[in-house]
Amino acid sequence: MGLFILRRLGVMLLTALCLTFVVFFLTNLYPNLEKLAKTQGNFRMSDEQVESYLGSRGYLQPLPRKYAEWLGLAPGFLSQDTEGNAVGRCIRPGVAPEKTPTRCGILQGDWGFSTVFKEPVSAIIATRLGLTAKLMLWVMLLMVPSALIIGVLAGMREGSRTDRTLSTLSIATTATPEYVSGVIFIALLASSRYGVSPMLAEAGLIEGKTLFKGTATSAMESANFQNFFLPVLTISLYGMGYIARMTRASMAEVMTAQYIRTARLKGVSFRNIVMKHALRNALIAPFTVIMLQIPWLLNGVVIVETLFNYKGFGWTLVQAAGNNDIELLLGVSVVSVFVVLITQLFSDIGYVFLNPRIRIS
């Protein structure tokens, strides 16, 4: 087991290295650097100015060298701009040039400096990730129980009307991407001119103009039902159908097992069969699915945070990518890659614990 985890960690590290190199390569292509220079300097720079701007900041060094600097293997680039001020990778505002370390990279614990937000990348990622974690927590709390209930109800009597209705329902939710359901929800529930809000307001059932808020910006500080429910619901719906279908399949399989038939023949009540005999075994497979669903949720998070203007991790990703903020983008991709790989690892390990028939050798 220990060896297995070690090997997986090794693969994880290799994957992260490869991926960050790919991101590094793509963000360091010349047109991207040109865009960076123009957004940082000014938009009317001539080609020579762009070149000198990039050259003086070390962006025009060979790619492997720059990558090594980012990793912290090579000393950070250092030079002087036209006014004689020291510029370079490791220079930070507020830190005297003499105190600047020679190496500043991932290995030194320095994630770099965001060119868009003018803040250290690690600080940005920490706060944004915290906000997204809050969102994800509520998504999980809503999505997992409802998906399991739907799946179990559908799977315990395969082919019944309930099964057909709930299965079609879960297909419908998997067919509704976040940007569609989010738009529909906002139009129906959060618009003061359309949907149910004008009716409710007219009937005096709600005090404000709308039932829910169409933006979740205020949820960053204080989340409540009104401003946070729609984003949470939007993300959960898309993932819910898939988990429910997996639960249904696994429940349906368990319900045909021999021991269930035995229990039935012995006269155990249907409720006890479902609750005591079938449920535990039926929930092994959905566990893996739920873990593997987390990386997918990350996608939904990006869309929903953009749609509802909730400034979390996904929103940061869009900002960083849209402005070619190289170091922030690298930080974001490292984090998301680790999220993907760690959930995979957890799902494998958890599966072994839940299902004693599986052995990892």
Partner 1 sequence: MEPLTWFGAYAGGFGGLLAIALTIAVICGLCAMLLSLTSSSTKGSFSLFNGIAVVVLLIVGFSYVYATVTGGAGGGMDSGSLLKILGLLLGFALFAAMLGYFMNTFFDDPAATMGYVFTLALKAIGLLIAAWLVWTLLFAGAGFRDYVAGLDPDAMPDADTLAAEKRTAIMQGRGIIASIFMRFMPVWISIAVLFTLSALYKRKLGLYGKLYDNIIGMIGFGLVMFWVFTAFYSGFFDMIATHGALDQASGMKNKLPGTPLRGAEAAEYPYYLLGGDNLARDVFSRMVMGSGIVIMIAPLATLFAFMVGITLGLPAGYFSGPALRSLKSYGAIATAVVFGLAALATLITSGFMNFLLFAVVLAIMLLLLFRTSLDTALSFLANLILAFPVILLFYLLVTPEIVETGLPQYMAVVLFAFPLIFVGVLLHSRLRTQPAKNKLWLTVWLVPMFLIYMSTINTADSKIDFWPLDFFDIPGGILVVFVSVVFVNSPTVFRIVRGLALDINSRDYVAAAQTRGEGPWYIMLWEILPNARGPLIVDFCLRIGYTTILLGTLGFFGLGLPPESPDWGSTINDGRKLLMIYAHPALPPAFALLSLVLGLNLLADGLREESLKD
Rounded to 5 degrees, what angle do the CA atoms 293, 17, 303 make?
A: 35
Q: Which amino acid is at 94?
A: G
State yes or no: residue 165 binds partner 1 (CB under 8 A): yes
**Binding residue (CB under 8 A) for partner 1 from 5, 208, 280, 358:** 208
State yes or no: residue 141 binds partner 1 (CB under 8 A): no
For the bound state, the minimum distance from the C-beta of residue 186 to partner 1, rounded and expressed in Å, comes to: 5
CA–CA dist 22, 319 (Å, integer)? 19
Q: Which is nearer to partner 1, 105 or 336 (CB)?
A: 336
For the bound state, the minimum distance from the C-beta of residue 141 to partner 1, rounded and expressed in Å, comes to: 12
Instruction: With beta carbons less than 8 A apart as the criterion, state whether 231 and 216 touch.
Output: yes
Segment 337 to 356, residues that bind partner 1, using CB under 8 A: 337, 340-341
State yes or no: residue 279 binds partner 1 (CB under 8 A): no
State yes or no: residue 321 binds partner 1 (CB under 8 A): yes
Hey, how many other C-beta atoms are within 10 angstroms of the C-beta on 52?
Answer: 16
**Binding residue (CB under 8 A) for partner 1 from 18, 133, 141, 358:** 18
**Binding residue (CB under 8 A) for partner 1 from 132, 247, 316, 336:** 336
The DSSP result for 68-100, as a single string, is: HHHHTSSPPPEEE-TTS-EEESS--TTS-GGG-
Hey, how many other C-beta atoms are within 10 angstroms of the C-beta on 161?
Answer: 8
**Binding residue (CB under 8 A) for partner 1 from 102, 123, 141, 194:** 194
**Binding residue (CB under 8 A) for partner 1 from 187, 199, 358, 360:** 187
Q: Which is nearer to partner 1, 129 or 318 (CB)?
A: 318
Candidates 70-78, 81-89, 123-131, 312-320: pick the segment binding partner 1 (CB under 8 A).
312-320
Candidates 91-99, 135-143, 283-291, 317-325: pick the segment binding partner 1 (CB under 8 A).
317-325
57: Cβ–Cβ under 8 A, 6 or more apart, which residues? 77, 79, 87, 88
42: Cβ–Cβ under 8 A, 6 or more apart, which residues? none
Of the candidates 296, 308, 310, 297, the residue with the CA atom closest to the CA atom of residue 130 = 310
State yes or no: residue 328 binds partner 1 (CB under 8 A): no
Output the CA–CA distances (angstroms, integers) from residue 133 to 126, 177, 301, 339, in the order listed: 10, 21, 10, 12
State yes or no: residue 198 binds partner 1 (CB under 8 A): no
For residue 80, list its beta bridge partners: 86
State yes or no: residue 124 binds partner 1 (CB under 8 A): no
**Binding residue (CB under 8 A) for partner 1 from 99, 193, 266, 357:** 193
| 51 membership: H or E segment, kind and range | helix 47-56
Angle between helices 178-189 and 225-255 (to 10 degrees): 130
CA–CA dist 126, 143 (Å, integer)? 25
What DSSP character marks residue 190? S
**Binding residue (CB under 8 A) for partner 1 from 1, 6, 11, 123:** 11
**Binding residue (CB under 8 A) for partner 1 from 6, 137, 141, 172:** 172
Number of residues that bind partner 1 (CB under 8 A): 80
For the bound state, the minimum distance from the C-beta of residue 95 to partner 1, rounded and expressed in Å, comes to: 31
Segment 44 to 103, residues that bind partner 1, using CB under 8 A: 62-65
Binding mask 226-265 for partner 1 (x = CB under 8 A): x---------------------------------------
Q: Which is nearer to partner 1, 160 or 262 (CB)?
A: 160
